[in-house]
Structure 1
Amino acid sequence: LSRNYGHQNALWAGMTAASVDADIVVTIDADLQDDPNSIIEMVGAYHAGYDVVYGVRNDRESDTFFKRASANLFYKLMNKLGVNIIPNHADFRLIDRRVLKQLLQFPERNLFLRGMLPLVGFSSTKVFYKRRARQAGKSKYPLHKMLLLAWDGITSFSEVPIRSIIVFGFLLVFLSAFYVLYGLIRWATGHTETGWTSLMVSIWLLGGIQLIVIGIVGEYIGKIFKEVKRRPRFIIQDDLYTKPKPPRIKNSDSSSNV
């Protein structure tokens, strides 16, 4: 590439170039911490009929405590936000040509391939492997880049952060109603300071109303957000009106050719 366009864009460029001639494409990080020998098992799963094969780490022993804890927290958070990603899977995967063709039709520019590929669908499976420790060099993916990638994943696939504003707004309105009741009780018992109740109620009430209004505006922005991505409404896996695809025949020599 003419310059550093970022990790996800580099992967996209490689897959775009390979899609011209390849029947299957395997992506793997250049540091080879992901086990290249697992590609043989991936090809075997492809011949068994799977269109996407995810390389999944069987443990995170090679990571530091902070990275291991933050990764587990990230996967749990994405699951809570309704984003479908494969835990402990990075960018080591095998993709069938027809899946890749559909994936490359996604026009969005903020790429998060770990979330985009499950959106495409098709049959998939996992191959588990042990991730090796880095033998040489330093990681080109420091903490701030990982955080930016995580943020792209959250904001590109979930509207929960926007909708949570409305929930918080209604919570503040509820609290203001509670303060009204509390203020009336204090007034009835003669334990009030002049102006305190009206000041607190107005702050909570107006703050809650403002957040609700912002949340409603956010709902419309969320719909604009979906429209500008121009993601396909559906993807056809098998067209019953065309000649069916011939079954894959496993080549006994496929492992030696990988």
Structure 2
Amino acid sequence: MRKPPVLAIVVPCYNEEEVLPITCGLFKAELDDLLAKGKVAPGSHVLFVNDGSRDRTWEIIRELAASEPAYRGCSLSRNRGHQNALLGGLMEARGHCDATISIDCDGQDDIATMEQMVDAYLDGCDVVYGVRSSRETDTFFKRFTAQSFYRLLESMGVECVYNHADYRLLGAAALDGLSQFREVNLFLRGMVPLVGFRSTSVYYERHERMAGSSHYPLSKMLALAVNGITSLSVRPIRLITWTGLAVALASLVAIVWVLAAHALGGTVSGWASTTAAVFFMGGVQMLSLGVIGEYVGKIYLESKHRPRWIMSERTWDEDEK
């Protein structure tokens, strides 16, 4: 049985001025409850990560940090996206805590599940996944697209936990392991399982967003899926190879059929078959080039070795002035 950890609740925020004043108190209340039960150690805190918000989000975070030591905040120099902001917050917390729990700011993930995550950590798990037990509250379209998203990732060879987003606990060992991943194209749902260590899952019901609007429309979900697949799997490239082989074999069969028909004098000139073949081959080639181009683009971005984020401000720096 481990000793109670210094816990950091890492909350990425982007234009959350409507919901942040509501959920900040819920995070603090859960942290106080864990402290009262002796499951986390003094020094545990809530770390808000401002992802270059254009509204009052950073101003609110600074006010919270000034009013209560349990609140801390750091701000990216510009908007870098949810995955970069989340990883940036985890790396800021690393070295100052024994474990982190990452959770979105909108209040949809069940905050009370944190106690189960901490219990699993105390029992020896370094990675604890928060997994949705059902999607009954989702619309049919949302449920269909989400399930298709996870099935697509699985079919493409990406190792991830079904119905798990970014609500998870990471121990110090897992954080150290995650820090060794240097890629620019981030898909944490697929990267964390690659870290290894003892893991488990806890299940919870997801609620409606408490305020504001979602920052993850269908277009961003599709972009996330493409990024996850191309960052963690080469299966699409292999599919192109197999597709090319299948088309080549089909072409050989067609050539034999054409030669046989010509020898028997049964050929009839026509544009339909020729046009269909041209469009088919053109489509296959364009699709193949698009997939290959996606990978080449990833290589291009990785080769630059640009920083994944730049922290411009930290509330604890202000405390030291």
8 A Cα contact 1:107 1:229, kept in partner = no
Letter in 2 for 1:8: Q
Give the counterpart letter for 1:63 in structure 2.
D
Amino acid at match of 2:174: V
Aligned with residue 147 of structure 1, among 222, 229, 236: 222
Amino acid in the other structure paired with 1:145: K
The alignment status of 1:56 with 2:131, answered yes or no, reads yes
Q: State how far apart, in whole Å, the 1-side matches of 2:89 and 2:212 are.
A: 23
Secondary structure, in 3 states, of the residue corresponding to 2:210? coil
Code of the aligned partner of 1:62: T
Aligned to 2:151: 76
Contact 1:60–1:68, Cα closer than 8 Å, also in 2: yes
Q: Deviations over 1:111-146 (max 9, x none)?
A: 100000000100100000000112221111122111
2:202 is aligned to 127
Aligned partners of 1:5 and 1:189: how far apart in 2? 66
Q: 1:20 — aligned with what?
A: 95
Aligned partners of 2:121 and 2:130: how far apart in 1?
13
Looking at structure 1, the residues matched to 77 and 304 of structure 2 have their Cα atoms a distance apart, in angstroms, of 26
Q: Aligned partner of 1:179: which letter?
A: A
Does the 8 A contact of 2:153 with 2:225 survive in 1? Answer: no
Q: How does 1:108-257 map to 2 (within 5 A)?
A: 108-193=183-268
Deviation at 1:203, TM superposition (A): 6.6
Contact 2:107 2:210 in 1 (8 A): no
Q: Secondary structure at the match of 2:251?
A: helix
Task: Name the CA distance, whole Å, in 2 between partners of 1:117 and 1:61.
Answer: 27
For the residue of structure 1 that corresponds to 2:111, the secondary structure is: coil
- Contact 1:108–1:229, Cα closer than 8 Å, also in 2: no
CA contact (8 A) 2:102 2:168 kept: yes
Shift of 1:97: 0.6
Is the alpha carbon distance of 1:194 and 1:56 closer, same or farther for their aligned partners in structure 2, counting shifts above 3 Å? closer
- The alpha-carbon distance between structure 1 residues 229 and 45, as it changes in their structure 2 partners (threshold 3 A), is farther
Partner of 2:111: 36
- 2:170 alignment partner in structure 1: 95
Whichever residue aligns with residue 68 of structure 1, its letter is R
What displacement does 1:195 show?
A: 9.8
Distance 1:141 1:82, change over 3 A: same
Displacement after TM superposition at 1:194 (Å) = 6.2
**Matching residue's letter, 1:30:** C
Q: Paired residue for 1:235?
A: none
Whole-angstrom distance in 2 between the partners of 1:161 and 1:6? 25
Shift >2 Å, 4+ stretches = 193-196, 227-230
Aligned partner of 1:106 in structure 2 is 181
Residue among 78, 88, 98 paired with 1:3: 78
Alignment deviations for residues 208-239 of structure 1 (CA, whole Å, 9 cap, x no partner): xx89x98xx99x979x79x9699xxxxxxxxx
Q: Which whole-Å CA distance do the structure 2 matches of 1:146 and 1:44 have between them? A: 32
Structure number with higher strand proportion: 2
Sort the Cα spacing of 1:123 and 1:229 in 2 relative to 1 into closer, same or farther, 3 A.
farther
Separation of aligned partners in 2, 1:103 and 1:8: 13
Quick check: 2:127–2:199 contact (8 Å CA) kept in 1?
Answer: yes
| C-alpha distance 70-195 of structure 1, shift in aligned 2 (>3 A) | closer
8 Å CA contact 2:153, 2:229 repeated in 1: yes
Report the CA distance between 1:167 and its aligned residue: 1.2
Aligned partner of 1:234 in structure 2 is none
What is the RMSD computed on CA atoms of the aligned residues? 3.5
Q: Is the 8 A contact 1:24 1:94 kept in 2?
A: yes
- Offset at residue 63 of structure 1 (A): 1.8
Q: Which moved more, 1:180-189 or 1:162-171?
A: 180-189
